[in-house]
Amino acid sequence: MYRSAARRILPAVCRRAGHFRSKASPVRFSAPIIHPAAFSAAAASENARNHKPNNFEASKISSSSSSSSNEGRKPRVTDRPKAHWQEEQARVLQASLRHVPDYSKNDLLIGWDRLLNFIGQISLGWSDAAMIAGAREVGVSPSIVGSFPRKEAALVEFFMDDCLQRLIDIIDLKEDLTNLIPSNRVAKLVRIRLEMQAPYISKWPQALSIQAQPSNIATSFKQRAMLVDEIWHAAGDESTDIDWYVKRTVLGGIYSTTEIYMLTDTSPDFRDTWAFLDERVREAFDLKRRCKR
Amino acid sequence: MALRSIYRGLKKNNLLSPLCNSCSHLHSHSTSFGYKEVREEEKSQMVGNVFTSVASSYDLMNDLMSGGLHRLWKERLVSKLNPFPGMKHLDVAGGTGDVAFRILESINNVGRRAMRDIHDDNVLDETQIFVCDINPNMLNVGKKRAQERGFGDNKSLVWVEGDAEALKFEDGSMDGYTIAFGIRNVTHIEKALAEAHRVLKRGGRFLCLELSHVELPIFKDLYDYYSFSVIPALGELVAGDRESYQYLVESVRRFPSQEKFAKMIAEAGFDKVEYENLVGGVVAIHSGLKF
């Protein structure tokens, strides 16, 4: 019902043809919430979000400080007086993320009036305009945006670290991964991670292009490497030889291709993307089995 | 004339060695004016005289001395600042308005306008750039240039006469504070930094563009030769004032090094203090964040 009504109202106000697909996407946002299998993931991610200001420090590569209560895995150097401005930057980035996508997924469930309010709002994308809006929301002067070394890239990298942290939290909470065969485990983890990007999917091509810029490519490569390593680790990989590199490279390739496939997927709940993902993972495991012989 | 007599007098006594190169180490009643030692009360007067006499040819001399590079340095400063519509900005010692004009142009840029949303257009009117200078002659030159550039009636540009050590603005009222090639002329740098910290809002940025120290071996010697031989001669030819430009190059040498200045900024209460060297250290942009 939402979809047909949205399709009738939204084309009248959206300015670019490219928006059509993105306007339809809010309807999918309800899926991650009500879909039973993903429900716990969403709930867990909500919990992780609430701990955000503390957990952020763990994943931010450049920071070397911590706040008092956090559950990050990586060891940190405590340096309390200096932690302050980095926390503020984190809060600004967190608030900016809310201005990136077209709609917040929760609002569509709440009601028509909220939906109509949001029609007027123009999505800011991964830009310093979103960061300025985020800074204003947090109550800090928007000048702080100038202090981020590579502005939009800082926002994208923050999001990537945020998603990685949420994935780690989900892995810690879920025990049923051991019931699955390795290929399903890997596929499920990749799916969980890609679902986190679903709300931003209309602006994700912009994020990818930011990550591909020469000045940002080193950090984005490192983040993806960490992500892939984490997924294999959670899937129970214990290889110590050339296999370690091969597995991560192959998974990196699968992840990237699935991510790009997802950009043009218009099926409900990204069904086609998951089918594509399962195919690729199965192929990769078949290839591995064939090579072993 | 007064400069020459003081210079001769002090040269006879040869009071302090050039090794003592930081204002904070000096006796509380005297400060540096280039390589000369002068009483604190006199320094601002003498600086005032310098700028009154150079005001009319200030921009021309800047172009000649830096080979036009000063424009690029100021562009870099403004891009680091990342101005936004609705910004309240204070440019101190910005007499002739170079930095202020660039900030205004950056905010009104057509390209940026294409990316904005509806809210920004209302907010654009709230933009205010204050240009503060202790010397009214420099401000007058700035106002004239503003007219020439078409900013004459722009309500966003406000010219204020004031002292960097005692600003007349309220606490936490500015989003940004810049000082380009001005802080070495201030008698008490710490006071100016403290004032900068006071007027900035939470999240506000402090940016300082200043001539600084070159450490690269051969380049340093070339730079020294250029500073002490070419610049005062240029000053004499073009502005008819060798003494002022001698003061200029000497004050650059007496100014604290990049690291030391960064420490001073941090002591004033700023966070995330960084500096960027341009042209191997000839110019450095120091930046700090206020929380």
How far is Cα B171 from Cα B237, in angstroms, rounded to an integer? Answer: 44
How far is Cα A190 from Cα A168, in angstroms, rounded to an integer? Answer: 12
Dump pLDDT digits (tens) for A204-250: 999 999 999 999 999 999 999 999 999 988 888 778 888 888 889 99
Contact across the interface for A146 and B80, Cβ inside 8 Å: yes
Phi then psi for residue A236, to 5 deg, are 90, 30
Dump pLDDT digits (tens) for A28-52: 333 333 333 333 333 333 333 333 3
Rounded alpha-carbon distances, angstroms, from residue A273 to A12, A196, A201, A261, A266: 29, 14, 13, 6, 9
The ipTM estimated for the assembled molecules is 0.73
Q: What pLDDT is attached to residue A165?
A: 92
Q: What pLDDT is attached to residue A7?
A: 47
Q: What pLDDT is attached to residue A14?
A: 40
How far is Cα B107 from Cα B175, in angstroms, rounded to an integer? Answer: 14
Average confidence (pLDDT) over B141-157: 86
A189: its two tokens: 């983890």
Q: Is the pLDDT of residue B117 over 70?
A: no
Q: Is the pLDDT of residue B208 over 90?
A: yes
Helices A128-138, A151-173: axis angle to 10 degrees equals 70
Rounded alpha-carbon distances, angstroms, from residue A1 to A27, A31, A271: 10, 14, 19
Amino acid (one-letter) located at A166: R
Q: What pLDDT is attached to residue B121?
A: 60
Q: What pLDDT is attached to residue A107?
A: 37
Q: What pLDDT is attached to residue B115?
A: 54
Closest Cα in chain A, distance from residue B98 (Å):
20
Q: Which residues of B are documented as binding site?
A: 96, 133, 163-164
For tokens 């400060």, name the residue. Answer: B31
Q: What pLDDT is attached to residue B239?
A: 80
Q: Is the pLDDT of residue B267 over 90?
A: yes
Dump pLDDT digits (tens) for A171-184: 888 767 777 888 88
Q: What pLDDT is attached to residue A214?
A: 93
B199 touches chain A (CB under 8 A): no
pLDDT higher at A239 or A16: A239
Closest Cα in chain B, distance from residue A144 (Å):
5
Model confidence at B6, pLDDT cuts 50, 70, 90, reads low
Interface probe for B, chosen from A100, A143, A145, A148 (most Cβ of B below 10 Å), is A143
Closest chain B residue to A125, measured at CA: B115
How far is Cα B249 from Cα B242, in angstroms, rounded to an integer? Answer: 11
Mapped onto helix, strand or coil, the DSSP state of residue A113 is helix
- Residue by residue, DSSP assigns B42-81 as HHHHHHHHHHHHHGGGHHHHHHHHHTTHHHHHHHHHHHHH
Model confidence at A150, pLDDT cuts 50, 70, 90, reads confident
How far is Cα A263 from Cα A201, in angstroms, rounded to an integer? Answer: 6
Average confidence (pLDDT) over A83-101: 77
Phi then psi for residue A267, to 5 deg, are -75, 155
Q: What pLDDT is attached to residue B280?
A: 87
Closest Cα in chain A, distance from residue B112 (Å):
10
Q: What pLDDT is attached to residue A244?
A: 87
How far is Cα A244 from Cα A229, in angstroms, rounded to an integer? Answer: 9
In terms of residues, how long is chain B?
291
Phi then psi for residue B233, to 5 deg, are -65, -40
Q: What pLDDT is attached to residue A239?
A: 81
How far is Cα B31 from Cα A96, in angstroms, rounded to an integer? Answer: 47
A290: its two tokens: 């064939």
Q: Is the pLDDT of residue B177 over 60?
A: yes
In terms of residues, how long is chain A?
293
Q: Is the pLDDT of residue A118 over 70?
A: no
B203 touches chain A (CB under 8 A): yes
Which is nearest to A117 in space by CA: A103, A105, A100, A106? A103
Nearest to A85 among B115, B201, B271 (CB): B271
- Residue by residue, DSSP assigns chain B as -HHHHHHHHHHHHT-S-TT---GGGS-TTEEEETTEEEEHHHHHHHHHHHHHHHGGGHHHHHHHHHTTHHHHHHHHHHHHH---TT-EEEEET-TT-HHHHHHHHHHH-HHHHHH--HHHHHHHTT-EEEEEES-HHHHHHHHHHHHHHT-TT-TTEEEEE-BTTB--SPTT-EEEEEEES-GGG-S-HHHHHHHHHHHEEEEEEEEEEEE-----HHHHHHHHHIIIIIHHHHIIIIIS-HHHHHHHHHHHHHSPPHHHHHHHHHHTT-EEEEEEEEGGGTEEEEEEE--
Q: Is the pLDDT of residue B141 over 60?
A: yes
Q: How big is the A-B interface in CB pairs under 8 Å?
A: 61
Rounded alpha-carbon distances, angstroms, from residue B165 to A16, B179, B190, B192, B213: 52, 12, 9, 4, 24
Which is nearest to B164 in space by CA: B144, B150, B178? B178
B97: its two tokens: 């308005």
Q: What pLDDT is attached to residue A224?
A: 94
Q: Which residues of A touch B124 (CB under 8 A)?
A: none
B111 touches chain A (CB under 8 A): no
Output the pTM of the full model: 0.71
Residues 147-206 of A with CB under 8 A from B: 147, 151
Q: What pLDDT is attached to residue B191?
A: 92
pLDDT higher at B17 or B262: B262
Which is nearest to B58 in space by CA: B245, B285, B282? B245
pLDDT higher at B201 or B116: B201
Q: Is the pLDDT of residue B110 over 90?
A: no
B133 touches chain A (CB under 8 A): no
pLDDT higher at B121 or A91: A91
Model confidence at A24, pLDDT cuts 50, 70, 90, reads very low
